[in-house]
Amino acid sequence: MSTITIYKGGLPTEAIEFDISQATSGLVMTTVTAVTFDVKQPDGTMVVWGGTILVGATATLLRAQHVFSLPDTIQIGKYVLMAYLTVPGGVRRAGPTVFMVADPFAAC
């Protein structure tokens, strides 16, 4: 599995997309009506990010997106994200995703 790397200070015009599969959730993806993300930041604090389901979900695959706000990626390091999927009858989790936030000027 490759790790996604994004730069510190994601702007409101930037977004990150995640593929959520039936294999990681046990759900039929076309029944999902909403998505949110619990995010563990590098310092261990937890935040909740809103999500959007992108057009084109199939029974086995859904693509969700989070559009950044300025404080979302101010910490450098590893973020662990857990998707929560709203379906008829309740909310279910999908497997975690890890991504890194890097300083764009660190290598200069």
Q: How many CA atoms lie within 13 A of 42 on its CB side?
A: 12
> Do 87 and 33 touch, CB atoms closer than 8 A?
yes
**What CA–CA distance (Å, rounded) separates 73 from 40?**
11
Backbone angles phi, psi at 31, to 5 degrees: -90, -5
> Do 15 and 60 touch, CB atoms closer than 8 A?
no
E strand or H helix that includes residue 17: strand 15-21
Residues 8-67: pLDDT tens digits?
A: 888 888 888 989 888 777 889 999 999 999 999 999 999 999 999 999 899 999 999 999
Q: Give which of 17, 7, 1 is closest to 70, Cα–Cα.
A: 7
Lowest-pLDDT range of 3-7, 36-40, 101-105: 3-7
pLDDT range class, residue 2, cuts 50, 70, 90: low
Domains of the chain: 4-102 (2.60.40.10)
User: What's the pLDDT at 108?
Assistant: 63
